[in-house]
Amino acid sequence: MEKVIEVQNLTKKFGDFTAVDHISFEVYKGEIFGFLGANGAGKTTAMRMLCGLLPPTSGKGLVAGFDIHTQSEEVKRNIGYMSQKFALYEDLKVWENIRLYGGIYGVPEDEIIKKTDELLKRLGFEKERNSFVKSLPLGWKQKLAFSVAIFHEPKIVFLDEPTGGVDPVTRRQFWEMIYEAADRGITVFVTTHYMDEAEYCDRVSIMVDGRIDALDSPKNLKNQFKANNMDGVFQQLARRASRKAD
Amino acid sequence: MTGNYGEFAVCCENITKTYPPDIQALKNIDLKVSPHQIFGIIGPDGAGKTTLFRMLTTLILADEGKATVLGYDVVNDYQEIRKYVGYMPGRFSLYQDLTVEENLKFFASVFGTTVEENYDLIKNIYRQIEPFKNRRAGQLSGGMKQKLALSCALIHKPKLLILDEPTTGVDPVSRREFWEMLQNLKNEGITILVSTAYMDEAGLCDTIALILNGEFLKIDTPKNIVQQFEPEIFSVQSNQRSKLLTDLRRLPEVSSCYAFGDSIHVTVENKKISEEELQNFLLKNGHEQIEIAKIEPTVEDCFMELSKQQEENN
């Protein structure tokens, strides 16, 4: 299987505080990989390193075939990113947001025009082409933000708590979009605080005190920890934490 | 003193709030909150939760309708309400440049009291951040900010505590701890009005109001809401999850069908299809390791069903 992320002993220290402590794992093409952990466990720091935004203190990481330390610009160009906090520009129109992100990721002009039409049609948003993003319902924004994040067809998309505060129906429709993207071969790396969503992932890792303390399919993790659901697994692992940063 | 404020800690009648040009944040809502309980306002972002709380805490005015808090009118008696209500907004709004201790002292002095006078009420929460009392609030981690904000909201010993999405973005372990703190405060006699977008927190409230698009879908105890749910729900699993969803959606007898953790919840109205018929349908479509069980709905199932009804009515 093609590896889209390969990480070995990745470590980040801030002064004498080790935020990420020798983590190693691999993520495969088309996989939905859940990246869980309590607040302060080191998820955000690890994710920022993987996105080429923060150089590691030691260890090695390849994302989409590029070294996160020496080729961080190539990493940034070959990934997609979406978070609940930062996704779209509210004061730009729907088509302007698509145009902007397409341009940032270097998609040629004529292709942006063609793909914008396709995208709006697929989402059923043709009538909203000229609407300001701030006027859209939250659920629509989330769908548009995800589509924009994978507009340049990256090998991998990072989703940082993409469904926080979204209503239950829209949250599930959003996951159905994630499945479609994974079926098309896009690897999905996702963080969430909803433990039912952890069940939707192919594999899940759980960080505790900067380390990855568990990594397996939800089914195997539930067997291993004799839990009925992923919340049971998470509670057992996270309660081991000695770090009380958060 | 507030003295006797009658039957309800909060009472709203026909409250409407519109933001220009035409965003109807609250549509003619009624709400009655009995004292000494944890009352949850549950719904997604944009449902109207914050507008409701800002109106009750006398920070904004409703366009229409009447509301009382602890027996006081939100318009005429706003100064009284502010004395007896503790409010923790969704966005961290303490003074970032003041230390932990300075923030707490400041809020105590604004309310004409001292930290010492009401220390008993906050001690279990404040003790956890006391080692950092000389750190500026802006330098705290998310979890510590939350504990400081709660301490500041409690320092004047409010009768009613209003918390706007205190657990948003908080991990499941810390969320559970936070709810334990709320339970302890309730036992101290404080009425708690709390909003959340996490449906699984509904079960931790005594009464819940499900809110969507500026309207309440239902107000009742979590138990009653679940019991009043009419359709049957089956939990279905097979070896092909993605295909399972598409196959089940093709069945006209199935009114809705969504992923819930490791299984799929299938809603069936008027017993249109039985467990055996579902089983046979899935076998015919090549599914293996099929598991079907009739289950009790969760509050999330109820919310989804009620939101569908709201959509149909509008």
In A, what residues contact B, Cβ < 8 A? 37-40, 137-138, 161, 164-170, 172, 175-176, 179, 183, 193-196, 199-200, 218-219, 229-231, 234-235, 238-239, 245-246
Q: What is the ipTM of this complex?
A: 0.83
Contact B60, B51 (CB under 8 A): yes
Tell me what pLDDT residue B288 has.
94
How far apart, in whole angstroms, are the C-alpha atoms of residue B293 and residue A237? 30
Q: What is the rounded distance in angstroms from the CA atom of residue A224 to the CA atom of residue B59?
A: 51
DSSP B298: P
Query: Percentages helix, strand, coil for chain B, rounded to the nearest 5?
Result: 35, 25, 35
The count of other CB atoms within 10 Å of the CB of residue A157 is 22
Mean pLDDT taken over chain B: 93
Q: Mutate which of B22, B41, B42, B45 to test chain A, going by most A C-beta atoms within 10 A?
A: B45
Question: Helix A138-149 and helix A94-104: axis angle, to 10°?
Answer: 20
> Which site among B22, B141, B165, B171 would you substitute to test the A interface, given the most A Cβ atoms closer than 10 Å to its Cβ?
B171
Residue whose entry in the numeric block shows the structure tokens 């859209």:
A136
- By CB atoms closer than 10 A (0-12, 13-18, 19+), residue B275 is middle
Place of tokens 């990246």: A35
Q: Identify all chain B residues contacting A200, using CB atoms and an 8 Å cutoff.
A: 259
Tell me what the mean pLDDT of segment B268-289 comes to: 94
Cross-strand bridge partners of residue B86: B161
d(CA B299, CA B196): 13
Residue of A nearest to B44 (CA): A167
User: Cα distance from B284 to chain A (closest Cα, Å)?
Assistant: 24
Banded pLDDT at B165 (limits 50, 70, 90): very high
Measured between beta carbons, the chain A residues lying within 8 angstroms of B260 are 196
What's residue B213's pLDDT? Answer: 94
Using CB atoms, pick whichever of B173, B242, B307 lies closest to residue A167: B307
CB contact under 8 A, B143 and A138: no
Q: Are B204 and B179 in contact (CB under 8 A)?
A: yes
The pLDDT value recorded for residue B144 is 87
Is B291's pLDDT higher than 80? yes
Q: If you average pLDDT over residues A39-58, what whole number do you get?
A: 94
Extract the tokens encoding B92: 């961290």
Dist. CA A50–CA A68, nearest whole Å: 6
Q: Choose among B289, B259, B290, B252: nearest CA to B273.
A: B252
What is the three-class DSSP state of A139? helix
Q: How confident is the model at residue B4 (pLDDT cuts 50, 70, 90)?
A: low
Q: Is the pLDDT of residue B2 over 60?
A: no
Domains of chain B, first to last: 10-226 (3.40.50.300), 230-296 (3.30.70.920)
Looking at residue B1, its pLDDT comes to 41
How close A111 gets to chain B, by Cα (Å)? Answer: 31
pLDDT band at B5 (very low <50, low <70, confident <90, very high): low
Question: What pLDDT score was predicted for residue A246?
Answer: 47
Mean pLDDT score across all residues of chain A: 93
Average pLDDT over residues B192-210: 96
> Given an 8 Å threshold on Cβ–Cβ distance, is B46 in contact with A138?
yes
pLDDT of residue B143: 81
Which residues in B lie closer than 8 A to residue A231 (C-beta atoms)?
Answer: 172
Residue B295 has pLDDT above 70, yes or no: yes
Q: Give the model confidence (pLDDT) of B302-314 as tens digits.
A: 999 999 999 888 7
Q: How far is CA B41 from CA A85, A219, B211, B230, in A?
A: 23, 33, 7, 22
User: Which residue's structure tokens are 């093409």?
Assistant: A29
Q: Which of the residue ranges A62-71, A86-95, B223-232, B273-282 would you say has the lowest mean pLDDT? A: A86-95
Classify strands B215-220 and B207-212 as parallel, antiparallel or unpaired. Answer: antiparallel
Contact residues, chain B, for A37 at CB < 8 Å: 171
pLDDT in tens, B51-94: 999 999 999 999 999 999 999 999 999 999 999 999 999 988 89
pLDDT classification of A10: cutoffs 50, 70, 90: very high
- Which has the closest alpha carbon to A26: A212, A241, A172, A209? A212
- pLDDT band at residue B297 under the 50/70/90 scheme: very high
Question: In the structure encoding, which two tokens stand for residue B96, read together?
Answer: 């970032």
How far from A25 is each of A33, A133, A205, B210, CA to CA, in Å? 11, 37, 9, 41
CA distances from B25 to A51, A169, B32, B49, B57 (A): 38, 20, 19, 9, 16
**How much is the pLDDT for A84?**
73
In angstroms, the CA B257 to CA B173 distance is: 29
Banded pLDDT at A241 (limits 50, 70, 90): confident
**Residue A164 vs residues A131, A161, A229, B57, B168: alpha-carbon distances, Å:** 24, 6, 20, 25, 8
- Between B232 and A245, name the one with better pLDDT: B232
Q: Say how far apart CA A140 and CA A191 lie, in whole Å.
A: 20
CB contact under 8 A, A168 and B169: no
- Residue of A169, A172, A195 lying closest to B172 (CB–CB): A195
Strands B38-42 and B207-212, bridge-based pairing: parallel
Q: Which of A212, A171, A216, A214 is CA-nearest to residue A192?
A: A171
Whole-angstrom distance, CA of residue B238 vs CA of residue A2:
27
> Does B122 score more than 80 pLDDT?
yes
Of B242 and B193, the structure prediction assigns the larger pLDDT to B193
pLDDT of the residue at B60: 97
Rounded to an integer, what distance in angstroms lies between the CA atom of residue B22 and that of residue B34?
A: 33
Q: Is the pLDDT of residue B43 over 60?
A: yes
Instruction: Give the C-alpha separation, A242 to B204, whole Å.
Output: 27
B163 pLDDT higher than 60: yes
Chain A residues touching B261 at Cβ < 8 A = 195-196, 199, 229-230
- Tell me the pLDDT tens digit for each residue of B223-265: 999 999 999 999 999 998 888 999 999 999 999 999 998 899 9
Query: Does the distance separating the beta carbons of B261 and A246 come in below 8 Å?
Result: no
B119: number of CA atoms within 13 Å, CB side?
8
Q: Which residues of B touch A176 (CB under 8 A)?
A: 245
The confidence score (pLDDT) of residue A86 equals 65
Nearest to B302, CA basis, from B236, B213, B203: B203
pLDDT for res A218: 96
